[in-house]
Every structure is written in C-alpha cells, then in structure tokens.
C-alpha cells in the first residue's frame, strides 16, 4: 500500500512540478487528473493530456515518475457518463476512452470515473440507460488491461436541488454497478452525511472484492446545524452547491473519520492498492501555498499509518 495524492487540487502546477514536490512531502504515488485541457473548475485539472496521447508521451511520463520514485495509482476523469444530452454524453465517453488508452499505455491498472445520472429521468430509467451505455466502456477498458472504477461521490452539485446525481453513492448501488463490471474507488468522506457508516460500507465492499482504489478525504459535521437545515442542507441563501450549512469536507486529520481503523481494515482485508489524498478542504485551500500545506498535514496524518514497503525510498 502506498500513500498518494489526487493531483486535481493542484491545477496551478504541472505534472513535472507535482512529481518533484510530492516525495518531499511523503507521497509515493499520484492519482493523475486527466480532465479535458481547458477545464476551468478548481478540481478539474489536466495533468495528462490524453487526447492524442502517444508512445513517446507514455515514455516521458514513465521516466518522470521513475526519476522521483513515484507510481501512478490511477488516471482520473469524473465526467457524467449518463448525461442527459446525448451529444455531451458521447463527448464524455470519448474522453473516458482516451483516458483508458493513456492508462493502458502507461501500464496503469485503474481509471477512476463516475456513473453519473440523467437528472431529467427517474432513477429506474437511469438504470436502463446505464445498462445500455456503460458495459461497452467496461469492455473497452478490459480489452486494454484496465479496470474502470466508480467513485462513491453523490455529486449533489449536479442536481438543481442537491439530490444525488452520481448513482454510485451507496453499498446497494455498488453491488448494482459491480454487475455492470465496475469496481469501486472508495471515499469514506461522502458516506456519513448520507447516514451510511463508512466502516460497515468499507467492510461490505472489501468482502465483495470490488475496492480497486481508495481516496482519503475527511468530513466535519455540525449536528446542530443539521437539525436546522435537514439532511439536504441549506435552501434559503445558499451561496454555492457546496454551501450546505452543516457539513464540509476536510483533509485527513482535520475531520472526524477514524483513519487508524480505516487503514487497519484495509490491511486486514489484504488490500494492496493505494490510498490517495483528495484535497477539497476550504480551510486549507484557496491559494496554492495553503493547498500544499494542507497536503502536508494530510501526509503527516496518514504516513504514520501506512507501512512503507522494504524497497520504498
């Protein structure tokens, strides 16, 4: 097991700069963000330009990682694979296939994405849509030695009323998407505000053999504020989709998840993948310097829990 970081929060740095900085902070792996070039969301970086990714590009990236003693744990592009606009859905699928091609060229086993949802349709109709459009993507990946993983983020920001818009947010849905051929990119931070025990959910997923990657993000919950706003969060005066009023994401060590137990359960189950910090903490964000400081705090929290392999530099 290696400690890594998802590069999406470091859009102001290029992959070369991240690879040089990460080992100094205690990281051994990168989960590389590969959104389309030009994506302007703060957590949608393009550290791999997968469009037209060549053998020479793969050689360059492998050499860069090797020179800093880093592995790539996954290539990540979390688009809405069930988007309601067929043309947009096709564009998302084309880019996801390019991510799969790049991962295959790099010898990376996993591509992390979302299931998504057509928010104009009931969930039952989305199941039918998924069963039609997603298995070909799974087969495309498998033919190239890659496994597609769906992260369990609810993506409530994609829904106009803040309801889940990524049909991968609960263990029930993990079983369904596993039947479609997807593995799970497990992120415990999304579960407590939904009323799901992250420990029980992790044990279920490990027993089912579907955990391919782990993202480490924490959560801070204000239960008194929840009593005012309800589980779906603030309605009047909401400043943004993430302004829910009673919970917020934090870096590991600044929230309330039991990382000692989570990591121990992973070891107990024989999990051999990586754990990548995902930084969406508003306290340790806003500027590049604060984001890097937040990643240092997260590394300090988890580094002592993850045993370095004998050949780790």
Residue 54 domain-assigned (yes or no): yes
What per-residue confidence (pLDDT) applies to 221? 97
Residue 312 lies in a domain: no
Residue 212 has pLDDT above 70, yes or no: yes
Residue 313 has pLDDT above 60, yes or no: no
| Dist. CA 277–CA 166, nearest whole Å | 21
What pLDDT score was predicted for residue 242? 77
In a domain, 311, yes or no: no
* Backbone φ, ψ for residue 235 (5° rounding): -115, -50
Digit-coded pLDDT (tens) for 274-284: 999 999 999 99
Q: What pLDDT sits at residue 312? A: 45
pLDDT value for 161: 79
The first and second tokens of residue 107, run together, are 């010898």
Over residues 48-80, the pLDDT tens digits come to 999 989 999 999 999 999 999 999 999 999 999
Tokens (6 digits) for 247: 């919970």
Residue 256 lies in a domain: yes
Domain holding 131: CATH number? 3.20.20.150
Which residues are registered as beta bridge partners of 151?
185
Q: Is residue 135 part of a domain?
A: yes
Quote the tokens at residue 290.
Answer: 């604060």
List strand residue ranges (DSSP E) for 152-228, in order. 183-186, 211-216, 218-221
Altogether, the residues listed in the chain come to a count of 313
Q: Give me the domain span that covers residue 233.
A: 3-303
Is residue 308, in this structure, part of any structural domain at all? no
- What is the overall mean pLDDT for the chain? 95
Number of folded domains in the chain?
1
């Amino acid at each position: 097991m290696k400690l890594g970081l998802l590069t999406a929060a470091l859009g102001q740095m290029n992959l070369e700069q991240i690879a040089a900085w990460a080992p100094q902070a205690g990281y051994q792996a990168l989960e590389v963000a590969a959104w389309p070039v030009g994506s302007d969301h703060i957590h949608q970086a393009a550290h791999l330009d997968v469009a037209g990714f060549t053998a020479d590009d793969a050689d360059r990236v492998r050499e860069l990682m090797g020179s800093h003693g880093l592995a790539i744990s996954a290539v990540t592009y979390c688009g809405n694979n069930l988007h309601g606009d067929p043309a947009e859905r096709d564009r998302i699928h084309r880019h996801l296939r390019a991510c799969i091609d790049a991962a295959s060229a790099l010898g990376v086993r996993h591509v992390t994405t979302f299931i998504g949802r057509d928010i104009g349709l009931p969930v039952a109709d989305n199941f039918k849509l998924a069963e039609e459009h997603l298995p070909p993507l799974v087969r495309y990946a498998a033919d190239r030695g890659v496994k597609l993983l769906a992260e369990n983020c609810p993506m409530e920001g994609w829904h106009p009323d803040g309801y889940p818009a990524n049909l991968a947010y609960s263990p029930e849905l993990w079983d369904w998407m596993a039947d479609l051929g997807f593995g799970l990119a497990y992120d415990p931070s999304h579960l407590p505000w939904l009323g799901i025990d992250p420990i029980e959910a992790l044990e279920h997923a490990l027993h089912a053999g579907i955990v391919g990657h782990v993202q480490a993000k924490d959560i801070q919950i204000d239960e008194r504020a929840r009593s005012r706003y309800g589980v779906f969060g603030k309605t009047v005066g909401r400043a943004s989709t993430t302004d829910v009023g009673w919970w917020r994401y934090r870096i590991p060590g600044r929230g309330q998840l039991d990382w000692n137990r989570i990591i121990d359960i992973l070891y107990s189950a024989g999990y051999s993948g990586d754990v990548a910090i995902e930084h969406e903490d508003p306290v340790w964000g806003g500027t590049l310097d604060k984001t890097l400081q937040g990643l240092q705090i997260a590394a300090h929290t988890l580094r002592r829990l993850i045993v370095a392999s004998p050949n780790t530099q």
